[in-house]
């Protein structure tokens, strides 16, 4: 069951690579949040109840509801256009993302370890690299933030793989999530709208040598 969920999770990434509208990205993020909830619920059996509740809160309330809703609010407030504005055509994006997944599968097949479920490893690494790819291949700042959230989801999957033995690390991961999202979105991105009329990354390109 976990495998099915994780594979679905990876498929959403393929979908993300060809999405044109920012709302589609957000819907995918919400979907990923729910999948993560499912995976957590099935995987973490040895963990105490308080920790479990904390993790469930993080996946459902934070990842699937609060952050996407907040981004929607920001988009409305700053009247950001709906296009994702990629630098590359969608077809090429799709090929690159597929290649990333294939490469991580090949990489992980080289790993010989009893302690780690390889599906988790593949999904986490492909999430990480696809998140980085989304950041460099999209023009708007808001899509950079979405790329970062994709990376966070990947890291969360990796944390789940070690979560049963080391719940402390999982809690740290949750802290990272909340800290970074609050910092990037809450404090900062809100300000961006006050200073800039159109939060386009081109306007933040003057600091250079």
Inter-helix orientation angle 22-43/141-163, to 10°: 10
Tokens of 188: 């900062």
Query: Any contact of residue 47 with other proteins (CB under 8 A)?
Result: no
46 interacts with other proteins by CB under 8 A? no
The verdict on 159 binding other proteins (CB under 8 A) reads: yes
8-state DSSP, 202: G
Between 76 and 205, CB nearer to other proteins: 205
Under rule CB under 8 A, residue 66 binds other proteins: no
The residue range among 31-39, 57-65, 66-74, 178-186 that interacts with other proteins, by the rule CB under 8 A, is 178-186
Give the nearest distance from C-beta 61 to other proteins in angstroms. 21
Closest listed residue to residue 73, CA positions, set 142, 7, 12, 130: 142
Let me know: does 151 contact 136? Beta carbons within 8 Å. Answer: no
For residue 91, the minimal CB distance to other proteins (Å) is: 27
DSSP reduced 3-state for 89: coil
Does residue 196 touch other proteins according to CB under 8 A? yes
Among residues 179, 186, 198, 202, the one that binds other proteins under rule CB under 8 A? 179
**CA-CA distance, 147 to 55, in Å (whole number)?**
22
Using CA atoms, how far residue 73 sits from 103, 149, 185, 194, 207, in Å, is 37, 17, 11, 14, 29
User: Which residue of 21, 72, 77, 191 would you call a contact of other proteins, by CB under 8 A?
Assistant: 191
Q: How far is CA 67 from CA 29, 163, 169, in A?
A: 9, 23, 22
Q: Does 54 bind other proteins (CB under 8 A)?
A: no
Binding footprint of other proteins on the chain (CB under 8 A): 111-113, 115-116, 128, 141, 144, 148, 151-152, 155, 158-159, 161-162, 165-166, 168-169, 172-173, 175-176, 179-180, 183-184, 187-188, 191-192, 195-196, 203-207, 209
């Amino acid at each position: 069951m976990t495998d099915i969920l994780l594979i679905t999770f990876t498929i959403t990434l393929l979908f993300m690579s060809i999405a044109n509208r920012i709302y589609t990205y957000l819907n995918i993020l919400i979907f990923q949040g729910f999948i993560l909830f499912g995976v957590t619920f099935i995987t973490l059996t040895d963990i105490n109840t308080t920790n479990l509740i904390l993790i469930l809160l993080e996946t459902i309330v934070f990842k699937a509801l609060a952050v996407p809703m907040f981004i929607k609010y920001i988009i409305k407030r700053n009247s950001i256009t709906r296009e994702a504005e990629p630098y590359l055509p969608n077809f090429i994006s799709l090929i690159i993302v597929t290649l990333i997944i294939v490469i991580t599968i090949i990489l992980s097949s080289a790993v010989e370890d009893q302690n780690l479920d390889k599906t988790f490893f593949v999904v986490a690494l492909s999430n990480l690299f696809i998140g980085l790819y989304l950041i460099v291949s999209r023009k708007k700042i808001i899509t950079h933030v979405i790329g970062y959230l994709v990376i966070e989801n990947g890291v969360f999957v990796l944390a789940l793989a070690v979560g049963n033995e080391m719940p402390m690390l999982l809690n740290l991961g949750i802290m990272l999530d909340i800290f970074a999202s609050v910092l990037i979105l809450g404090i900062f991105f809100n300000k961006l709208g006050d200073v800039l009329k159109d939060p386009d990354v081109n306007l933040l390109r003057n600091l250079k040598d």
